[in-house]
């Protein structure tokens, strides 16, 4: 396992335990994230900076959902891109509805810290969990 992969694994552990401090500690100062368009709760599809990501992506998501990403497959390209597939699993807090949504995460690590995330996920699954009475 590469050092880059080990850094990204720490992100999954931190999100699964709800450790915001650990998330901030592994993000590069120039961290950039692009999330799936239409993801509920987030303040924008792209953010720059660790604190902006916590405030604009993960904080709002964790307020609305008891959720985490669970990694299933890992691939590293020749140029250092780390591709992780898996599923988000959790519950919408307001409705109590469970959901599961597939994801693909594209990661870059710079100087031992995560510098980039591009997220793809089935946002409809997230929205369905928020709808009262949804099946």
Domain boundaries, the chain: 3-130
Q: What is the CATH number of domain 3-130?
A: 3.10.450.50
pLDDT in tens, 38-57: 999 887 788 999 999 989 99
**pTM over cut 0.85:** yes
Q: What is the pLDDT of residue 45?
A: 80
List of residues 6+ apart from 85 with CB closer than 8 A: 71, 72, 73, 102, 103, 104, 105
List of residues 6+ apart from 116 with CB closer than 8 A: 31, 32, 33, 106, 107, 108
Q: What is the pLDDT of residue 110?
A: 97
Q: How many residues does the chain have?
A: 135
pLDDT in tens, 71-115: 999 999 999 999 999 999 999 999 999 999 999 999 999 999 999
DSSP 36: -
Q: What is the pLDDT of residue 33?
A: 96
């Amino acid at each position: 396992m590469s050092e880059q992969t080990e850094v990204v694994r720490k992100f999954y552990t931190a999100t699964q335990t709800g450790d915001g401090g650990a998330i901030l500690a592994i993000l590069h100062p120039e961290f950039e994230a692009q999330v799936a368009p239409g993801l509920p709760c987030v303040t924008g599809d792209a953010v720059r900076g660790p604190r902006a990501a916590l405030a604009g992506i993960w904080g709002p998501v964790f307020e609305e959902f008891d959720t985490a990403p669970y990694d299933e497959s890992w691939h590293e390209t020749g140029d250092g891109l780390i591709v992780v597939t898996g599923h988000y699993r959790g519950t919408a807090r307001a409705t109590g509805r469970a959901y599961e949504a597939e994801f693909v995460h594209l990661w870059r690590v710079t100087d031992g810290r995560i510098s980039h995330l591009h997220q793809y996920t089935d946002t409809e699954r997230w929205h369905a969990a928020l709808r009262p009475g949804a099946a």
